[in-house]
């Protein structure tokens, strides 16, 4: 049976900024260290460090959820017309040298370039399918990537109003001039704002391209429902005759940062608080049903002891008689290849009496 895994709800802010080229990897590392020390928001730290502009941050934050929905990521990536091989080079999936080898093989055999890249082990079939989908979306016209069009970015950054954009687009249809040219000639913005918008557009299209190809390499179950995840937590508890479970607090999602990926685990102290009721002197059995976790194991500190669960979850016996409030802390040991980002909470709890 196919497992439905913890779904990536938001691509991590740091990953998007690095993919876009807005922040260097080493500067992100410094910001993450500062975040651990101060517990401030990463974006706030990067603005304070003058690594990014507040307007850039606002726009990137508005894209976080779209970049884990394959269809939306493809639309956002379809900003610049490129050949299939160029798309993969632009995303850092293959090197220019690998593309050159593949093109020579393509000329020799007559195979499609995508087939050559797959045969040579330079790309996966899913990556090629995604790249082709991006090309198809590009051919459909600029409407497909509306959110990253220059005018939309300028409105988001409050350089122009929605009314000014509408007027400029009308004039663009009549004159066939570039939108930026019309806005500068009309005295609505200066050339610096246009340079900023074009630069940010190119960077975010690259980040979207990397995100779309990254989603192509993830198991389908991990991304299939990413666009429909609610931030409201729904816990299905199995309530039997003499045992009951109540969720006092539990996160609807958890974050895997770049720093977590590097150290190999996520630590969540006091993340859950539950109320257990049992009239059995033997206690109760607490079940952790996991949803295809991206973890090698999970250590749970509960009632003064540490229990280690495998990737499929597990059972914990607890000496509960009557009503007891229990706090749970977690350490998720990440599996290789886990992506940084925001995931839906991966456990469903249920309880049954012992004896």
pLDDT band at residue 235 under the 50/70/90 scheme? very low
pLDDT band at residue 141 under the 50/70/90 scheme? low
Position 294 scores a pLDDT of 67
The DSSP element (H or E) to which 305 belongs, if any, is: strand 305-309
**Which whole number is the average pLDDT over 194-210?**
87
The DSSP element (H or E) to which 46 belongs, if any, is: helix 42-48
Q: For residue range 142-178, what is the model confidence (pLDDT) as tens digits? A: 544 567 888 888 988 889 999 999 999 999 888 988 9
Using DSSP, how many helices (H) and how many strands (E) does the chain show? Answer: 15, 11
pLDDT band at residue 349 under the 50/70/90 scheme? confident
Strands 313-318 and 347-353, how do they pair? unpaired
The average confidence (pLDDT) of the chain is 82
**Which whole number is the average pLDDT over 244-272?**
89
DSSP 12-40: -HHHHHHHHTSS-HHHHHHHHHHHHHH--
pLDDT at 226 > cutoff 60: no
List the strands of the sheet with 305-309, edge to edge. Answer: 243-249, 265-278, 322-334, 295-302, 305-309
**Which whole number is the average pLDDT over 334-340?**
85
pLDDT at 316 > cutoff 60: yes
* Two structure tokens written together for 149: 């069009």
Instruction: State the CB neighbour count (10 A cutoff) for residue 54.
Output: 12
């Amino acid at each position: 049976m196919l497992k439905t895994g913890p779904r990536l709800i938001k691509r991590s802010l740091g990953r998007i900024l690095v993919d876009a080229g807005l922040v260097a990897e080493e500067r992100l590392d410094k910001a993450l260290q500062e975040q651990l020390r101060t517990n401030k928001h990463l974006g706030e730290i990067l603005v304070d460090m003058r690594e990014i502009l507040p307007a850039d941050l606002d726009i990137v934050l508005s894209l976080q959820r779209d970049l884990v929905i394959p269809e939306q990521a493809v639309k956002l990536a379809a900003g610049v017309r490129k050949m299939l091989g160029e798309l993969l080079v632009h995303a850092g999936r293959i090197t220019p040298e690998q593309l050159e080898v593949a093109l020579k093989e393509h000329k020799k055999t007559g195979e499609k370039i995508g087939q050559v890249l797959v045969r040579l082990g330079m790309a996966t079939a899913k990556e090629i399918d995604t790249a082709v989908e991006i090309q198809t979306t590009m051919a459909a016209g600029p409407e497909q990537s509306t959110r990253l069009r220059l005018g939309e970015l300028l409105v988001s950054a409050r350089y122009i109003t929605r009314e000014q954009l509408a007027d400029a687009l009308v004039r663009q249809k009549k004159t066939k001039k570039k939108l930026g040219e019309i806005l500068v000639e009309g005295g609505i913005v200066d050339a610096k704002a246009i340079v900023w918008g074009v630069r940010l557009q190119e960077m975010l299209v690259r980040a979207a391209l990397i995100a779309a190809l990254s989603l192509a390499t993830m198991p389908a179950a991990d991304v299939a429902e990413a666009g429909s995840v609610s931030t409201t937590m729904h816990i299905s508890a199995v309530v039997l005759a003499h045992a009951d479970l109540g969720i006092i607090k539990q996160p609807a999602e958890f974050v895997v940062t770049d720093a977590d990926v590097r150290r190999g685990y996520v630590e969540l102290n006091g993340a859950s608080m539950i109320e257990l009721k049992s009239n059995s002197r033997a206690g109760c059995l607490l079940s952790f049903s996991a949803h295809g976790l991206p973890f090698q194991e999970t250590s749970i500190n509960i009632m003064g002891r540490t229990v280690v669960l495998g990737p499929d979850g597990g059972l914990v016996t607890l000496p509960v008689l009557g009503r007891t409030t229990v706090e749970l802390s977690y350490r998720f040991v990440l599996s290789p290849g886990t992506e940084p980002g925001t995931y839906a909470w991966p456990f469903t709890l249920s309880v049954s009496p012992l004896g």
